[in-house]
Amino acid sequence: MRNEFLSDWQIVIGAIQYWLGGGDPYGPFPSYYSFIRPAGAFAYPPATLMLGAPIALLPWQLTGILMLLLSIIGFEYWARRTGRRTALPWLVVWLPLCQGLWIGQLTLLSLVGLALAELTYTDEHDWHVGVLLALAIVKPQTVVLPVAYMLFTAVRARRWSVLLSFALLSAVLWGGVILASGPAIYAQWREGLSHYGPNLANRPLLFPPFGPLLALLAGVLWWRYGRQDVWGLLLLLNTLIFPLSVVYVAVGVAFVVIRWRPDAPWYPLALSWLVPIFLPVQLTPDGVAALAQGIVGTALLAGLCPALPWRRWFARRPLTPQ
């Protein structure tokens, strides 16, 4: 990973800069290192172009660090509000989160927006809820089910400010890009998706070889801790049925485990670093899927394993008999 720091962020900002210069961001475009990135290297929705345009002219290193800080601070704030406990060890101990931060993936930031929207919904800051949902859905594949549920809940509760703010910002992001580039930008996006990751494991995490075991672990976790939580269940389902078995799409599992089991131990998460060592696979779609499933399973184990009595083990004992 040492040569890939903020590599995904470089692609995002590079594509947005190329688009601002009149190019097709979903086709080949120049990188920061004097080579041409292939078609499909940038596959985010066109709304991302509008969202990133205001910062695209700043140095990508600066904006990348700011993006990481925003993701980490938002994640920690949500975890402390939800479980009254720090979640920073997750960012280091669990491989999907650590890798996602290292390469500058936007998955964590999208999920932070979703999670903060759920908090602000409870706090009845309805305008903020709609804005956060509109920002989170810019990466729709990670959050579409819980976002749809929250909008449906807002309709049932007649909280129209949520819907209005969501609709207004969505119109700016998804419609504004048409005003800037014409409807062809969406055709270019579809074409770019056809070139995206041809060697990736394009199947849900629930598929074989280890998908049924993940389903069993997820079912037990839900039965023990999450039966009353529709939002968490939909986020878990969204993560497990998304048709791409790579580790960075699994970050949503961390939010579910922290939400349902705030005192979950961290030691099973460390196994995520051992899975690639002791589960040697070929870099084929089947091998990548098996590797991702094994790594994701460690977070589900963290939600089910007992906490180790560290405090009791390291409690101070009298040096002399009383």
Residue 268 pLDDT > 90: yes
C-alpha–C-alpha distance, residues 305 and 265, integer Å: 7
The structure's pTM equals 0.93
Model pLDDT for residues 120-135, shown as the tens digit of each residue: 999 999 999 999 999 9
Instruction: Give helix 252-260 / helix 285-304 axis angle, nearest 10°.
Output: 10
Compute the mean pLDDT over every residue in the chain, rounded to the nearest whole number: 92
Residue identified by tokens 């990133």 is 52
Model pLDDT for residues 89-118, shown as the tens digit of each residue: 999 999 999 999 999 999 999 999 999 999
Residue 177 pLDDT > 90: yes
Alpha helices in the chain (DSSP H): 7-20, 47-52, 60-83, 88-93, 95-103, 107-122, 126-136, 140-156, 160-170, 176-181, 184-194, 211-221, 230-241, 252-260, 267-278, 285-304, 310-313
In the chain, the percentage of residues whose pLDDT exceeds 90 is: 81
Instruction: Give helix 230-241 / helix 140-156 axis angle, nearest 10°.
Output: 150
- DSSP class of residue 29 equals E
Overall average pLDDT of the 150-163 stretch: 98
Model pLDDT for residues 52-83, shown as the tens digit of each residue: 999 999 999 999 999 999 999 999 999 999 99
Overall average pLDDT of the 190-216 stretch: 84
C-alpha–C-alpha distance, residues 253 and 73, integer Å: 18
Cis status, amide bond into 209, omega within 30 of 0: yes
Contacts of 161 (CB under 8 A, 6+ apart): 126, 127, 130
Strand partners, 198: none
- What pLDDT is stored for residue 3 in this prediction? 65
Q: Grade residue 201 by pLDDT with cuts at 50, 70 and 90.
A: low
- DSSP class of residue 237 equals H
Overall average pLDDT of the 195-208 stretch: 77
3-state secondary structure of 30: strand
